Structure 1
Amino acid sequence: MFFFSSTLLLAAACLCVKAGFFKETVTTCSPSTVHRLSCDSDGIISVETSLYGRMENVTCTEGNGISDTGCSPASVTDIVKKRCDGKRVCELNDKALGDSDPCKGTAKYLHSTYTCIPAFHRVTCEHSFAYLHCDYGQVIFVYGADYGRRDITTCAYGRPASQIQETACSSPTNKVADSCNGKNSCIIKASNSVFGDPCYGTFKYLEVAYTCQYPVVSQDESVYTGVISVQSSLYGRADREICSEGRPYQELDNTECSQHGTVDVIRRRCNGKKVCEIKTSVVHTSDPCSGIFKYLETNYTCLPANEGQVIFVYGAYYGRTDMTTCAYKKPTTQIENVSCSSHTGKVAEMCNGRNSCTIRASNSVFGDPCRGTFKYLEVAYVCEYPGLTPEQF
């Protein structure tokens, strides 16, 4: 997810791994109480922010010491990310953050925000081989890997209690990412010779979370791998942390305000494009919460647009959105209007399901969204095997 206070940029030049998933929040008040982050069976944790201390005087106010509202070590997010990223369930408490007290005498709390990202989850017992693989045309991207032991049940069959009782010896490792990222398939052995021995005498296992994605294409290449598909969009405020720096508490207090119809506006402007830029003024048709400092937040995915069998059009626009496209030797008066692009369903109607399609970019086909302006037709489409929908890719 990307957050911009004035301009929103959506770029589909690569696979957008985090886009399109809702944010979870966990707050733990009591010291030494378990702080638990968890995802469903098909998701893994990706920590966005964490703080330990106090940033306002509303959360966890039982007892004294809530006046210091600006204390939290900057390293907390990195510590929680290291402990939890790539796992389905992660538990920790304030002791895992170190012995230092960021604000003595103040009632503190541990607060984390995170998303659950769909991913493959593999557990391989010690002395066995982990097999990571993707469909044809996709490559591996490792979110996280740990070697050691976190519970007494995994890879425990037939093992004496002495070999499985140590459950605090799991160690994050980059070796799986170094060996497998960017490959279509990968084999790696779960052994001390590869990962070292984080807990001598304990029978260990390798835990890996990864996704399969289309290879990233650099921006200086002529073909991109994806087009934008907007999932959700919010203009207003949904929590007190985002875009809060330097803002007084009263400008962050309303966390349930949003401009109606924002997602429809963003979809019309961005769906099917490789890159999309928007100012907040486009969606700010009214003020959803007067006196509150607002932001524009959009979740989106990058859909594959690769070669296949028949055409499926994601989006088409006729008009003009910049002064450089189709502008050679055209007078300024014919290219200066860059706000006249109009969405059209005609390309989809004429081309979907065909192996090839020819359509003329002209006013006679699409109408004239901006008289006197030299226009162009912009189409985003994928090629798919007959009988499959894009959701089945």
Structure 2
Amino acid sequence: MKIVTQVKLLPEADQAAALRSTLRAVNNAAGWVSQIAFERGVPREYELRKHTYAELKARGLGAQAAQHTIKKVRDAYTVLKANIRAGNLGKEGSKRRRTAESKPIAFRPEAAQPYDDRCLSWQYDQQTVSIWTRSGRLKNISFVCSPDGLKTLQQYRKGESDLIERDGVFYLVATCEVPEAERYEPDGFIGVDLGIANIATASTGYMAAGRGLNRYRKRQLDLRRKLQKKRTKSAKRRLKARSRREQRHAANQNHIISKTIVTEAERTGRGLSLEELKGIRTRVRLRKPQRVALHSWAFSQLGDFIVYKAKRAGVPLVFVDPAYTSQTCAECGHVDKRNRVNQGLFICRGCGVVAHADRNASHNIAQRGENVWNAGRESRVPATP
């Protein structure tokens, strides 16, 4: 299982200047390579290398840096092609898709640059790194991270690491190959209902209310509107900073929620059952005031956090169809859209049971998860007479 670990670099002033100059040089070169790739119809990496490698070396990039720059550009076009094929940029002929297809991919000056073990080495005991720059190899650059992050780096780091700059601060994002824990046989399942009013509701009774997070986002939305009206450079800088701050806040909340859910499943020896919510933004129709809440909430991020934490802990996990989970009674199985009286109240028209709507849905998801798990274990081979 691949996860990423981020460390913060603490370079001296001259080291920071060298890192910044290197990032800008490689990303400027990536923009030039992107122009060549676009003009030549995005050839394969080997052919693109024949047209650009010598020029990149002449610009002062080392052999490995030049190779990584070419590969970064080719990978960017591969991702663009996949997004177009998946319809993420709209239908054929849409304005957004025409814009993406009509010009070369651009690279920001501070965009990430990959480093392999030939141009980056780690000294874990001293918590320093040695890294290639256009000014030569910089040694003994200190870094800081959490104790768990350092332990993960020491044991499982493998492959490339990306150097990035955010607001003048440099980070290294390392890829780690962490082995998955052996899954145990679950004693039942915990259903997790994901929503906006309540971010996550578990069938065990745990509920992560979204009131605080939604209030925080509304406040950030109001501040963004005020800054957008100013239309000054300083306002744009503050908008970027606030956007990243909001993303970090939401990610932190999702980490807390996912850890709580996975820990409870591991403690009780049960599995986890989640809704399959991919494509929800294209399926759900909402009024205009509700769209902001739907599109600003990280639906997939919380699910991804639960998935990788469950894999690390060996917790069995299944995905189920979320259709009618909010309209089905968990007690008698009666399905009626009128069962869902409002956002928080469920009253079954079949048996009369009264329950919290999200908790009722979480019990349905738990039951479906157990059915999916048992169906997967059943043998499809006919029994011999």
User: TM range, normalised to the smaller chain?
Assistant: under 0.3
Higher helix share: 2
What TM-score, normalized to structure 2?
A: 0.25
The higher relative CO (CA closer than 8 Å, separation ≥ 6) is in: 1
Q: TM-score, normalized by length of structure 1?
A: 0.25
